[in-house]
A and B are shown apart, each in its own frame.
Chain A
Amino acid sequence: MTNPAPADPRQTASEQELIASILAGQRDNFHLLIRPYEGQLYRTALALMKNETEAEDVVQDAVLKAYRKLASFRGDSKFSTWLIAITLNEARARLRKDGRATLDSLDAQREDNGDFTPATLTDWREVPLAALERQEIRDLIQRAVAGLPDTYREIVTLRDLEELSVNETAAALGISIALVKVRLHRARMMLQKKLAPHLKLAGKKEPKTRTFGRLSWL
């Protein structure tokens, strides 16, 4: 085999075979190729567009572009990273066209002098994943992510929602690893400050029947 090793084991042989088969004429296999990444692409587009309908349009355009340009995918990055980069470009092009482009430099200034004091709680209790069954918890998290400055929301979306590595996040956004780490840290601290006090209450277990004097009603 002369092919270089895939960047990640998740980029399976079958994915490379799918790509080869599509380029050889089995076009319908493209449906299978992108299916695992639909959610990732949608959340990526949503992070930039902040609007569900526009995010959906961006994903459709990006996926069509990925199909047309499939021959140029070299396999030296993961296929998912390549798809995400196309989606980011598509979203940015649309924002630029509408005069809504993010001014990265403005956000960068904020990186030097923000107030990133976290919420301090000594009785933190882990919020179980089952709490996500509750719409109110999902809304809380959605609103907190939506409320981040644009460049921070991008980073958190790729790194913490899509679970790309720091290196993949840097590659997809075309910025340095150091800048990814700085922004990721700030973004996570903002989310902690915003969410931890609410989630702490949300995660509270039912009070035990055993009473603690006059505090038993709490």
Chain B
Amino acid sequence: MALNCLHVWDHISEYIDNTLDPQVRAEVERHLAHCEICSAIIDSTRNIIVLMADDRVFELPLDFSKRLHARLDEVLKHEDPEPLGIGP
């Protein structure tokens, strides 16, 4: 059965993650071969995912790491990790 654009849109995320059932994937690919719109939607979605994963998008606040390790140091100086079986 040939898929129309609306059907293909339902599968975009799983298509990109490569988790579609092989038969569905083949149908999506058959559609993409002749549909510029769906191809562009998938390309743009994939591109957005790649861009989001880049560490430059959500950078750590200045000195975040320094403050974290300083606070940690205060605890590491005085405390061992709790032994198993204490607390929830």
Chain A residues packing against B (C-beta within 8 Å): 22-23, 25, 27-28, 30-31, 34-35, 38-39, 42-43, 46, 52, 56, 59-60, 63-64, 67-72, 116-124, 126-127, 129, 131-133, 137-138, 141-142, 145, 156, 160-161, 163, 166, 181, 184-185, 188-189, 191-192, 195-196, 199-200
A-B contact pairs, 24 of them (CB 8 A): A27-B80, A38-B64, A39-B60, A42-B58, A42-B61, A67-B79, A71-B84, A72-B84, A117-B9, A118-B45, A120-B37, A121-B37, A121-B44, A129-B54, A132-B54, A133-B56, A141-B57, A161-B52, A161-B58, A181-B14, A189-B13, A192-B48, A195-B44, A195-B48
Q: Across the interface, do A64 and B75 meet the contact criterion of CB distance under 8 Å?
A: yes
Q: Of residues B37, B51, B55, B64, which shows the largest number of chain A Cβ atoms within 10 Å of its Cβ? A: B51
Q: Which residues does chain A contribute within 8 Å of B52, judged by CB atoms?
A: 141, 145, 156, 160-161, 191
Instruction: Give every chain A residue within 8 A of B47 (Cβ-Cβ).
Output: 124, 126-127, 199
CB under 8 Å from chain A, chain B span 5-44: 9-10, 12-14, 16-17, 19, 36-37, 40-41, 43-44
Q: 6 tightest A-B contacts by CB?
A: A185-B13, A124-B40, A196-B44, A70-B81, A27-B76, A192-B45
Among B9, B56, B65, B81, chain A packs the most CB atoms within 10 A around the CB of: B81
Q: Which residues of B contact A (CB under 8 A)?
A: 9-10, 12-14, 16-17, 19, 36-37, 40-41, 43-45, 47-58, 60-61, 64-65, 67-69, 71-73, 75-76, 79-84, 87
